[in-house]
Amino acid sequence: MQTRTEVLVGLASLAALLGAVALATREGGTVAAPDLRPSTFVSDPAGAEGLLDALNRLGVATRRFRDRPTRLAALGDSAGRMLVILDPDPSQPLSAPEVAAIFRFSSHADLLLAGTGANPLLRCFGYEAKRSLFDSVRVVGTDEPVPRTDAALVETHQPVVMDTSRIADFAPVTCKVPAYRSAVTLLTSARGPVAVRLVRQDNGHTVLLIADAGLLRNATLRNTAAGPFVLGLIAGQDREVIFDEFHHGYGRSGSLLSASLAWSRQSPWGWIVWQLVVVATLALVFGAVRFGPAVAGISRRRRSSLEHVHALANALSAAHGHDQAIAALVRGLQRRLAPTALRGRTDWREWVHHLAARNTSPGLDAPLATLESLTTPGQPAASVLRAAGAVEELWQKLRP
């Protein structure tokens, strides 16, 4: 693909993307889908914020519980509480450890369980909510206008319920269905009971089971007789109502670091990691200790120019490079005296012979004769000094 074609394709893609963004964000665009979670944080018709607001207006204290049910024990033991679990989201179902924690919490608090999503807990109390595949039916037991429901409660007749869904990492959860002092059907339909109130014989706490969580949604509470009926069940019975919001996706968020630290405090593998960190830290500390006084650094000074010259002379003497030294002296004089056209193109020996042949000054005979005598290869060390003297004398007499 040519560069021009690639640029055109890129611009077309960018234009299409900008157009899609403009269509999605323009005023009066597509309306967002309604939130169908029966959560007290949702004010849509399918939410349950109306139930929480109505209880607050009636003087009932409410609380949104956003932690996992395994932390319900941290609330302490207080009389007059009710835990409300409204049809947990399918993406965050009730797990076996959470069912066990809620079942233990019910020993000192009332419960309200609604919807088929709460079936893991409903079975612990001897019932199960079953949804119908056909049209909804009217609820019997309230005044007009009556709500409609598409689910009903069915007794399981199982004295002991075992959940092995988390057997790989958690012990099987076993809950024994408690005995009841009374069991009253509050609402019914053509398909069976819709709402049942159970009073436990062991501790006297109430368990309210509702097959369809739709009876507690905002639209149903506002437009049907389900509003006064549900509020009558809760208000006046308990001083505080706790709504489970963790299973609607409103759990407390945290960082990966905090989650890792929490895991390391609870898991044996985490304790092993902490021990390894401590051992490594101690090894690093003890390995970094210096025994004895600090060693003074070696002071190194730079060589002077005279030392460099002396070193160069020694190197030339060792390499028998006296001829090179003489040649360097004469070339220096040549660069200063010769015309520009002759620089770098005449051998220094030829230049000395040429200069001696053209000499007309009697004062230059001696230094030129000295340089001519040094053109022969294999000169000794003393010849370098003679050449330096001759070059200096010529420079003094010939320099412009």
CA atoms within 13 A on the CB side of 397: 16
Name the strands in the sheet holding 137-140, side by side, starting at the edge strand that comes first in the sequence: 61-65, 240-244, 81-86, 110-114, 206-210, 192-200, 180-189, 137-140, 148-149
Q: How far is CA 321 from CA 37, 327, 331, 337, 369, in A?
A: 98, 10, 15, 25, 22
251: DSSP letter: P
pLDDT in tens, 298-327: 777 776 665 665 666 667 667 667 778 788
**pLDDT value at position 134?**
74
Q: What does the mean pLDDT of the chain come to?
A: 80
Q: What is the tens place of the pLDDT at every residue in 176-191? A: 999 999 999 988 888 8
Confidence grade of residue 30 (pLDDT, cut at 50, 70, 90): very low
Name the β-bridge partners of 65.
Answer: 244
Please give the residue that has the higher pLDDT: either 140 or 232: 232
Range with the poorest average pLDDT among 163-172, 241-250, 334-343, 391-400: 334-343
pLDDT in tens, 66-120: 988 888 888 887 778 899 999 988 778 888 888 989 999 998 899 999 999 999 9
- The residues near 221 (Cβ < 8 Å, ≥ 6 apart) are 50, 51, 54, 227, 230
Q: Which residues contact 276 (CB under 8 A, 6 or more apart)?
A: none
Q: How far is CA 250 from CA 64, 92, 132, 215, 366, in A?
A: 10, 11, 29, 22, 109
Residue spans per domain, the chain: 49-252, 305-398
pTM confidence score: 0.56
Closest CA to 162 of 171, 173, 154, 151: 173
Write 376-381 long-range contacts (CB < 8 A, 24+). Answer: 377/323, 378/323, 379/322, 379/323, 379/326, 380/322, 381/317, 381/322
Q: What is the pLDDT of residue 255?
A: 65
- The answer, yes or no, to whether the previous bond of 339 is cis (omega within 30 of 0) is no
Average pLDDT score over residue span 337-347: 60
Domain 49-252 sits in CATH 1.10.3210: no
